[in-house]
Amino acid sequence: MDCKEILALLPAYVDQELGVSESIEVDNHVLGCLSCQNELASQNALRGALKKHATYFKAPNHLENHIRAALPLDNAHSGRSGKPALKWLGPFNWFSFGTAITSVVALTLSVSFYLAIPSPNDLLAEDVVSNHVRSLMVNHIADVTSSDHHTVKPWFNGKLDFSPTVSDLTAQGFPLVGGRLDYLDHRSVAALVYRHRQHLINVYIWPVANKQNIAVKTLSSQGYQLLHWAEGGMVYWVVSDLNPRELLFLALILQAQGSQGSS
Partner 1 sequence: MAATEAMKARRFEEIVLPHLNMAYNLARWLSRSDQDAQDIVQEAYLRAYKFFDGCHGEDARAWLLAIVRNTTYTWLQQNREHVKNTPFDEEVHGLDSEGSATLINQADNNPEAILARNDDKRQINQSLEQLPLEFREILVLRELENLSYKEIAIVAGIPIGTVMSRLARGRKMLLEYLARINEGVK
The residues that touch partner 1, with contacts defined as CB under 8 A, are 8, 10-12, 15, 17, 38, 41-43, 45-51, 53-60, 63-64, 66-68, 70-74, 77, 85-86, 88, 94-95, 99, 102-103, 105-107, 109-110, 113, 126, 129-130, 133-134, 137, 222
Amino acid at 241: D
For residue 117, CA distances in Å to 47, 108, 122 come to: 35, 14, 9
Q: In the complex, what is the shortest distance from the CB of residue 52 to partner 1, in angstroms, rounded to a whole number?
A: 8
Distance between CA atoms of 132 and 144, rounded to whole angstroms? 17
Q: Which is nearer to partner 1, 126 or 143 (CB)?
A: 126
* Closest CB 226 distance from partner 1, rounded Å: 13
**What is the nearest approach in angstroms of partner 1 to the Cβ of residue 55?**
6
CA distances (Å), origin 59, targets 65, 73, 95, 100? 11, 22, 18, 21
Query: By C-beta, is 5 or 148 nearer to partner 1?
Result: 5
CB 76 within 8 Å of CB 43: no
Question: Nearest approach, Cβ of 54 to partner 1 (angstroms)?
Answer: 5
Rounded to an integer, what distance in angstroms lies between the CA atom of residue 197 and that of residue 147?
A: 15
Q: Which is nearer to partner 1, 85 or 208 (CB)?
A: 85
Ordered alpha helix ranges (H), the chain:
3-14, 20-31, 34-53, 61-70, 75-78, 97-115, 120-137, 149-155, 244-260
The span from the CA of 227 to the CA of 253, in Å, is 13
Longest dimension (CA), the chain: 81
Please report how close the Cβ of residue 78 comes to partner 1 at its closest, in angstroms: 9
Tell me the residue type at 102.
T
> Cα separation of 105 and 230, whole Å?
42
Least separation, in Å, of the C-beta of 129 and partner 1?
6
Q: Which is nearer to partner 1, 71 or 208 (CB)?
A: 71
Comparing CB distances to partner 1, the nearer of 51 and 186 is: 51
Is 50 in contact with 58 (CB distance < 8 Å)?
no
Nearer to partner 1, 48 or 154 (CB): 48
Q: Nearest distance from residue 263's CB to partner 1, in Å?
A: 34
Complex with partner 1: residue 8 or 252, whichever CB lies closer? 8
